Amino acid sequence: MKSIVTGGAGFIGSHLVDKLLDMGHDVVVLDNFSTGREENLSHVSGEVNLIECDLHVKGDWVQEFNGVDWVFHLASLADIVPSIQNPEGYFRSNVDATFYVLEAARHANVERFIYSASSSCYGIPGKYPTPEESDIRPQYPYALAKRMGEELVEHWAQLYNLPTISLRFFNVYGTRSRTSGTYGAVFGVFLAQKLANKPYTVVGDGNQTRDFTYVTDVVNALIAAAESSLSNKVYNIGSDTTVSINKIVELLGGDKIYIPKRPGEPDCTYADISRIKNDLGWSPTISIEDGIDKILENIDYWKEAIVWDSESIADATSDWFKYLNK
């Protein structure tokens, strides 16, 4: 078997590469290192064909799809504020690139195409747990671009019979999550603060809850989707529970301060995963306690990460308040 992983040097992608190699696959990684790190694959450097390329421009990389069985399209730009500040870049990376990857997969007649969609498409949901048929109401360009990519995938399945499944990830966490760049996911922020002996910056009152899903559970969902014979399906990927930010602080240990609640963010994210349980037999296995233990065992990964404080966060998120506070 041969698989392509776009974004394979990134957080989720590198863990997926590990799994595919364990399964005996030949693996090609396509990555431009905008968010991924070559170090994430250093332990398998001799086993992976790693190609640096930009997917939003059609290039020689399309030749890598010849003879490929499975395609996992994980490459994308994430984060809210940068998407507000640079929507063009997000549409190139998350929409244009998805188009070109779909076309490469279609012309190569691949067996399976798995797309990493985002639960951000739900905006502020009206129901918890949130099922896949919930209203789609993205709040910012990142969420919109990921949803548009998902629509492209659906259309290629309908029109060209490309065998696809889209997985809407909720709050993925774990080892190798991003350590550099813009203010983003809570675990990366908190772990850098812990290493620096600084207080955790908790948004709002900390009672908001998130569906934190450990990265290896997400990888197992990706594999289950690829092994399935179903097509043109969309599934939520979550932990089957929701945990408060205050609880995360308690598990990490340390002091905390509170910073202003941000507009456009839900008070809860909580995936209804009954559909994927029924269709694919997938369920998460890593509890939040076990997941945090795994992270803390590898906390030195975040030793060079930016250490955010209330002032730098306020500056970094000013456009968030400017455009979403309506």
Look up residue 85 and give its amino acid: Q
Q: How far is CA 173 from CA 54, 101, 142, 179, 282, in A?
A: 26, 26, 19, 12, 18
Q: How far apart are CA 69 and CA 131, in angstroms?
A: 30
Q: What is the DSSP letter of 192?
A: H
Specify whether 100 is catalytic: no
**Quick check: 77 and 83 in contact, CB under 8 A?**
yes
- Kindly provide the residue ranges of all beta strands, DSSP E only, lying in the chain, ordered along the sequence: 2-6, 26-31, 48-52, 70-73, 112-118, 164-169, 171-173, 200-203, 209-210, 212-214, 233-237, 243-244, 256-259
Q: How far apart are CA 62 and CA 105, in angstroms?
A: 8
Could you give the 3-state DSSP secondary structure of residue 193? helix
Q: Which of 115, 142, 183, 214 is catalytic?
A: 142
Burial class of residue 111 (count of CB atoms within 10 Å of its CB; 0-12, 13-18, 19+): middle
Q: How far apart are CA 119 and CA 136, in angstroms?
A: 10
Q: How far apart are CA 67 and CA 251, in angstroms?
A: 46
Tokens of 158: 């309908």
Q: Which residues are catalytic?
A: 142
